[in-house]
Each structure stands twice: as C-alpha cells, then as structure tokens.
A = this chain, B = another copy of it.
C-alpha cells in the first residue's frame, strides 16, 4: 500500500476544497487561526511517518486530550472508573446538561464535556492540578516520543474565562456527589488539559499505543480496547454515527480542528484543518480520513 501517494492525493484534494466550514470563535486564540491550514500524518508501528501539508505545525488539541486523560484515569481506577462515568453514546449535544439530570449526575461517557470533567476529576485523585498536568504531559510525551509538547497558557486562560457552562456541569455533578475534588481545582486542570498543543505528526505517533501493534508502547494494556470502543461510539459527539459510517475507524475530534484516528493493529493517524462542520468536527479533516479509509480499506466494518 502506497500511503505516501494516498496522502498526496488527499492533500491535493483538500487544497482545492472551497467549502471549508468555519473556525471556532469562542476564544480568540482559536478564532485567529489561518483557515486554510491543512495537515495530515500517518505513523506506522515500525516508526515510519507519512505526511502531507501542515503536519508539523502545533495546534490546540482541545477535546483530543480527553483520550489521554481517560487513559490516566483508567490506569488509576481500573474498572472502578465506570461507576462514575457511563460508556454509552449520549444522543445529546456535547455540552448538554439534560442527561445529567435524568441520570443522577452520572455522565453518559468520558467524551462529552461532563464526562471528561468527571474523568479529569478521577485522574486528579487528590493531587494538585500542577502534578496532574505534569503527569498528563509525561504520558503524552511518552506516547508521542517527543519531549517538546507543552500547554499554551494563553489558551488555558481563555478557556477559563469562557468556561461557565463547563463549571455548571461540574457543580451539577458535585451536587450529586460525583466530584471528588473541589470544583475549582478540577476545572483548573480541565481547562489546562484542553490547551495542550501538538502537531499532526505528534498526535499520529501518540495514537500508536492504541493500535496494539507490536513495537508500540504498552501504556494502558487492559484499557486499550475500551478506549477504542469509546472513540468509535462517542468520539465525535452527536456525529459519531456519521463518522463510524463514513470512516469506520475509532477517532476523537477537537474543536481546534484536529482528529486523532486509530487503525487497530496498523497505524496512528492525525488530520488537522481548523474549520468545523455543523456538528463541531473538522469539516475537511472528516473528509480527509473518509478518503483515507476508502483508499486503504482499513475500515473495521469491511
């Protein structure tokens, strides 16, 4: 399989795209991004990397960070974790509070906002946010094999300034006894984890531990399959069915325009295009991995 040629083809197609979607504008740091950026990287278990476009430019990984925090929380709590967070799709918008009220403060899955906050709270486990963020960065750096990955403090502060809806979710869970740490601490950690910056190459490499392929890091050995299942069912919020249908691979999107995709046993993949579709996922990014899935035949449903 000529992955280089497939990526070239995708890069050319995306360069010609006229309807690119819209950049997220809720914080200035995202609103300012050049809407024409497009990058993609594929990392193989043997260390090979294939890229097209802006694959080396770091961007705000935002909700993709939820995958790494979930890995940490599962490492810490094991199956106990699932008493605090469900593992079913929500059928609601990513930031909806409805489901929490109907189900006693237990968020439906770790990838909607409420679930990700509860996951961060579980991963904090009584440590200071600074310690947790250090551990998270170590985890991501190890997975990506790259010590330069860092948190953008300006983005973190902007998240804090616009974070009232997430605070509402956190206080709601606290009211139902589903927060172990003071809300302020957990939210501080949460806003910072969203502000990690990585490039397509770094994220494609960081996804390798989820492929389970020989030679990739064993970071969450029993939980790996479960994280992939969660990404498949809930990784694109209320467009997860559409992504499964079109791409057929576990993936997690972020509002910064990145999508991290896992081809089990085969490769880590990342695509980035900052403009979003109506469901809040990268528009060209989704189209690019759809093309990639068709060209490689790697859909798990095939």
Are A101 and B96 in contact (CB-based, < 8 A)? yes
User: Does A265 touch B at the CB level, under 8 Å?
Assistant: yes
Are B301 and A225 in contact (CB-based, < 8 A)? yes
* Alpha-carbon distance between A92 and B301 when the two chains are bound, in angstroms: 25
Are B244 and A233 in contact (CB-based, < 8 A)? yes
User: Does A128 touch B at the CB level, under 8 Å?
Assistant: no
Q: Which of A36-44, A152-160, A167-175 contacts B (4 or more CB under 8 A)?
A: A167-175
Cβ contacts A156-191/B at 8 Å (1 or 0 each): 000000001101111110110000000100000000
Tell me how many chains of this kind the complex includes.
Answer: 4
Residues of B within 8 A of A244 (CB): 229, 232-233
Residues of B within 8 A of A302 (CB): 212, 225, 264-265
User: Does A98 touch B at the CB level, under 8 Å?
Assistant: yes
Residue in contact with A171 in the complex, picked from B99, B167, B224, CB distance below 8 Å: B167
**Given A86-B241, A229-B248, list of 12 further CB < 8 A pairs?**
A88-B239, A89-B90, A90-B91, A91-B99, A97-B168, A109-B241, A167-B171, A171-B171, A226-B245, A229-B241, A232-B301, A300-B301
